[in-house]
Structure 1
């Protein structure tokens, strides 16, 4: 599972599972932004299970689904694809784009600075 890719609907379902820790089909439906039929959510969960990204356990007459892949692992794969496709493989260009976002507040920028200092072995 080195390259993890989710189409939009599967990503929305995985996002619910990552946030909630686990969920039934009905619970996933409740947390989605898009109104989907029960069978559509069930189909997405079954596809994700076939791919090895979720697993389920019986819970009464329903199943409870759990993520089998961590959000940070999926994120690392997605960021790698974005870096390669949009920033021609340049982490520096991608980082420059991130920090140029005017919506970032001083506190968030300071936390990013501290992370960089830690990575470089410096004191923040």
Structure 2
């Protein structure tokens, strides 16, 4: 699998693409401006860089280019999590889980879902 290392700004753009599917630069830009100040040319340049890096694909057959994420949100999460487990938690997934559950109040539904998931490994 490719080495996925998006910056924070690139991750914001990927979130839009994962949520909305195929988008033009304008579509992405309009979504970004709902939550932050972003210049259109900045969004355009970022998306061009992301295309060069292989983070997004671009359909150039129409007058307006259509972009889509080159990988799924789940793939990005797995890559980021693998890196965190390896570097921060010395390879221990259990340490990561205990730290996460100790620092964040999980709802009863979340705890139940985790228990159900763990039963698969017994």
Q: TM-score range by the shorter chain?
A: 0.7 to 0.9
RMSD: 1.7
Quote the residue 2:116 is aligned against: 114
SS at match of 1:56: strand
* TM-score computed with the length of structure 2 as normaliser: 0.87
Asked whether the equivalents of residues 2 and 77 of structure 1 are also in contact (C-alpha less than 8 Å), the reply is no
- Give the 3 Å change call, closer, same or farther, for CA 77–109 of structure 1 in structure 2: same
Aligned residues: 120
Q: Residues 29-69 of structure 1: CA distance to partner in whole angstroms, max 9, x if unpaired?
A: 12223221111111111111111121122475421111111
Quote the residue 2:27 is aligned against: 27
- Give the 3 Å change call, closer, same or farther, for CA 38–102 of structure 1 in structure 2: closer
Partner Cα separation in structure 1 for residue 64 and residue 53 of structure 2: 21
Deviation at 1:103, TM superposition (A): 2.4
Partner Cα separation in structure 1 for residue 104 and residue 59 of structure 2: 44
Stretch of structure 1 that moved more, 59-68 or 74-83: 59-68
The 5-angstrom pairing of residues 1-124 of structure 1 reads 1-32=1-32, 33-58=35-60, 61-118=63-120, 120-121=121-122
Stretches of structure 2 that go unaligned for 5 or more consecutive residues are: none
Asked whether the equivalents of residues 56 and 65 of structure 1 are also in contact (C-alpha less than 8 Å), the reply is yes
